[in-house]
């Protein structure tokens, strides 16, 4: 049994099972925070670089709110999922989107994609980097990647208000995670599969370890 202060707990819907809820509480909330940091205008053009657990939830919310979403990712299965979830286009990670972007979010922890995403922005566009870890970023050329008042923003954490707001929006718009379950005893395999891009959507660990007396 665990107790927490009420101010730090989220009220969860009773009609959604734990496996479906689990990705919303981490991947979903931080993806929402990244979307806020990207300052997407109403009806704007959003680019998502990488399409894993956070991005596929963020995409559903953005589409439901009226955005045009373009997905850039290396994984063919993730591109198919993006189109199934309502993305306007799905291309390779280093490809150009079919139109300039108002905002972009970098979910893939790949620093090489930072200048790629900045070049895809329209004037005044914003790129937010959602990951805690990012490989080294190559030098940025001011004229090509930052001129015309483009912005590069980091995402460090989320607030309790972010969590409450996202869960309410997810319920309103029917945001659902694509999940793949692993027993807790095979957590290492889940991490290896995640690194290899072996599944689309999100992995969820299910406790199969018997408690000790």
Considering only residues 78 and 2, tell me which one the structure prediction assigns the higher pLDDT: 78
Tally of CB atoms within 10 A around 20: 15
Question: Is the residue at 71 inside a domain?
Answer: yes
User: Quick one: pLDDT band at residue 2, thresholds 50, 70, 90?
Assistant: confident
Q: Is the pTM of this model over 0.85?
A: yes
Per-residue pLDDT tens over the stretch 64-110 = 999 999 999 999 999 999 999 999 999 999 999 999 999 999 999 99
Helices (H), the chain: 18-23, 29-38, 53-64, 76-84, 113-120, 160-173, 187-196
Question: Is the residue at 208 inside a domain?
Answer: no
Q: Which of 112, 96, 100 is nearest to 148 (CA)?
A: 100
Q: Determine the Cα–Cα distance for residues 47 and 185; give it in Å rounded to an integer.
A: 36
Per-residue pLDDT tens over the stretch 167-184 = 999 999 999 999 999 999
Question: Is the residue at 6 inside a domain?
Answer: no
Question: Is the residue at 116 inside a domain?
Answer: yes
Q: Determine the Cα–Cα distance for residues 44 and 178; give it in Å rounded to an integer.
A: 25
Question: Is the residue at 128 inside a domain?
Answer: yes
The CATH code of the domain that includes 37 is 3.40.50.720
Domain count across the chain: 1
């Amino acid at each position: 049994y665990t107790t927490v202060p009420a101010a730090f707990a989220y009220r969860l819907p009773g009609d959604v099972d734990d496996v479906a809820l689990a990705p919303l509480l981490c991947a979903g909330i931080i993806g929402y925070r990244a979307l806020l940091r990207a300052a997407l205008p109403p009806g704007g053009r959003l680019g998502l670089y990488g399409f894993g657990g956070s991005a596929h939830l963020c995409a559903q919310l953005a589409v439901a709110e009226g955005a045009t979403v373009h997905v850039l990712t290396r994984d063919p299965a993730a591109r198919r999922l993006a189109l199934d979830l309502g993305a306007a286009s799905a291309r390779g990670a280093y490809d150009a989107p079919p139109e300039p972007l108002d905002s972009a979010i970098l979910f893939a922890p790949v620093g090489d994609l930072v200048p790629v995403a900045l070049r895809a922005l329209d004037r005044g566009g914003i790129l937010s980097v959602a990951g805690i870890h990012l490989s080294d970023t190559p030098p940025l050329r001011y004229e090509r990647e930052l001129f015309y008042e483009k912005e590069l923003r980091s995402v460090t954490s989320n607030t309790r208000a972010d969590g409450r707001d996202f869960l309410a929006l997810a319920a309103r718009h029917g945001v659902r995670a694509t999940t793949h379950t692993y027993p807790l005893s095979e957590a290492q395999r889940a991490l290896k599969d995640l690194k290899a891009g072996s599944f689309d959507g999100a992995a969820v660990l299910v406790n199969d370890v018997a408690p000790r007396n």
